[in-house]
Amino acid sequence: MMFLKARFILGIALRHLTGKRRQTALVIAGVAVGSMVMILTFGLAEGVMTDIKNKIIDISPLITVKGEKIRGKQRLLMTSSPYSKNHFEIVSRIVPDEKKEVKPYTEVVSLVDALPGIDAVSPFVATRGVLRYSTLSRPCIVKGVIPEREARIGKLGQNIRTGSLNELSYTKNGILLGIGLAGKIGAGYHDLVRFTGENGKVYDLVVAGTFASGFGAVDDNNAFINLRLAQTISGFSENVVSAIGIHTESLEDVNPLSREISRLTGYKTETWEEANANLLSLFERNNNITFFLVIFVFVVAGFGIANVLITIVLQKQRDIAVMKSMGVSIGTLELVFLAEGMILGIAGAVIGGVAGHYLTNLISALPVSYGPSAVVRGDHIVTVQKPVFYVLTTLFAILVSAVSGYGPARRAARLKPVDILRA
């Protein structure tokens, strides 16, 4: 019975649409363009986020133990379940101003090393200074690390362009330069550069290599030296670092481990997402704006659907009246026109989905070059395709066609046969 009715409804709907081939094709094309753009937008937006996240993970620790003690009188005001995804604690605390350091760091390192789910631990000293080569100089951020440990945080090892991390570790006065930074002062592999530290002292360093992380700001401003040298420059004793970078085995463990480490060590911790919240939220907002625009494409497609259906309803008034007079119910007639809208929407979504898939592939296969000011650099546009994008796009197309079809469908179903059959 249900099947029969569906067949009856679809039969009429299809005949109506095939009777208006050109307009039908045009509207399906409109929905298809909307769907295609939506798939592409999903792919690009998710791609940018994935690219940025991957690049952040590649170059920075997932958790950083910061050289700030949780101290002072702490009063817990409010907390959520510690296992919830968006765990929060609201505390009131007064922190005295003091030097940022982790001391003794070896104790913290062995404490963290012993925790399950920890992949790598790399203590470091971050300092600033000015780097000079011949007549060119540039301010920079210098990170003092134990190269073997730092190599296991992110992909620094893979990002090396010249020289090696190994070379840095056996060159006591070696320095690994970001590729942009090296370019700006014109220094290359094995050149001798001069570094002026925050303490005002001058150090002659050998370029042990260069690296390219994909982040413009990092490659233009950062450099690595050995931990011991950085401790000397910063005036730290041998058991002091400014912070500790940590890599976990799984991304899911980052938040709980970060809280656990903070609790165990008494130092503040920061996850990679917290550290890059500004950057990530900027892109998120950007993506939201793009989606808003894509929805407009769909709204226009929706007008197209409504337009075709209104035309059909007007042209088919007499047929509708005849069908009503032979006992076709109001509900069935409404479904006929809703089905016509749905057919347009679904056909458009399917065609647009396939086109979107290939367009997304095509765009990610195109070689691109980023300007020097780009936030993130790479050699192609990263895109991501997930089944859920196609499901969402199809659902959206169906929603739009249902909304657009509803008015004409109601109008058709409420026609009074006598008014039309007489005329």
Partner 1 sequence: MEDALIRLRNVKKELAIRNGGEEIVTTILPDISFDITRGEFTAITGPSGSGKTTLLYLMGGLDKPNSGSVFLDNEEISAMTEEELAEMRNAKLGFVYQFHFLLPEFTAVENVMMPMLARGRAGVNEARRRAVELLSEMGLADKLNNKPNQLSGGQQQRVAVARALANHPMVLLADEPTGNLDSKSAEVIYRLFARLNEETGQTIVVVTHDEHFASETGRILHILDGQLDSDRKLR
What residues make contact with partner 1 under the rule CB under 8 A? 1, 4-5, 7-8, 15-16, 18-19, 318-319, 322-330, 332, 417-418, 421-422
In the complex, what is the shortest distance from the CB of residue 4 to partner 1, in angstroms, rounded to a whole number?
5
E strand residue ranges, 87-233: 89-93, 118-133, 136-145, 160-163, 174-178, 192-197, 202-211, 222-226
Residue (115 or 328) nearer to partner 1, CB: 328
Residue (78 or 326) nearer to partner 1, CB: 326
Residue (2 or 289) nearer to partner 1, CB: 2
Backbone angles phi, psi at 228, to 5 degrees: -60, -40
From CA 27, how far away is CA 208, in angstroms rounded?
Answer: 62
In the complex, what is the shortest distance from the CB of residue 5 to partner 1, in angstroms, rounded to a whole number?
6
In the complex, what is the shortest distance from the CB of residue 14 to partner 1, in angstroms, rounded to a whole number?
9
How many helices (H) and strands (E) would you count in the chain? 16, 12
Under 8 Å between Cβ of 300 and 141: no
Burial (Cβ within 10 Å: 0-12, 13-18, ≥19) of residue 189: middle
Residue (247 or 324) nearer to partner 1, CB: 324
Which two three-digit tokens encode residue 246?
Answer: 């940590």
In the complex, what is the shortest distance from the CB of residue 402 to partner 1, in angstroms, rounded to a whole number?
23
| Identity of the residue numbered 187 | A
Listed in sequence order, the DSSP H helices in 177-252 are: 179-185, 216-221, 227-234
Residue (134 or 329) nearer to partner 1, CB: 329
Nearest to 102 by CA among 245, 255, 258: 245
| Sign of CA pseudo-dihedral 290, 294, 297, 303 | negative
From CA 177, how far away is CA 185, in angstroms rounded?
Answer: 10
Nearest to 62 by CA among 281, 280, 270: 270
In the complex, what is the shortest distance from the CB of residue 28 to partner 1, in angstroms, rounded to a whole number?
19
In the complex, what is the shortest distance from the CB of residue 377 to partner 1, in angstroms, rounded to a whole number?
59
In the complex, what is the shortest distance from the CB of residue 16 to partner 1, in angstroms, rounded to a whole number?
7
Residue (16 or 377) nearer to partner 1, CB: 16
Residue (21 or 73) nearer to partner 1, CB: 21
Residue (7 or 386) nearer to partner 1, CB: 7
In the complex, what is the shortest distance from the CB of residue 330 to partner 1, in angstroms, rounded to a whole number?
7
The answer for residues whose C-beta is within 8 angstroms of residue 118's C-beta and 6 or more apart is 112, 246, 247, 248, 249, 257
Q: What is the largest CA-CA distance in the chain?
A: 102
Q: Which residues pair with 367 in a beta bridge?
A: 380
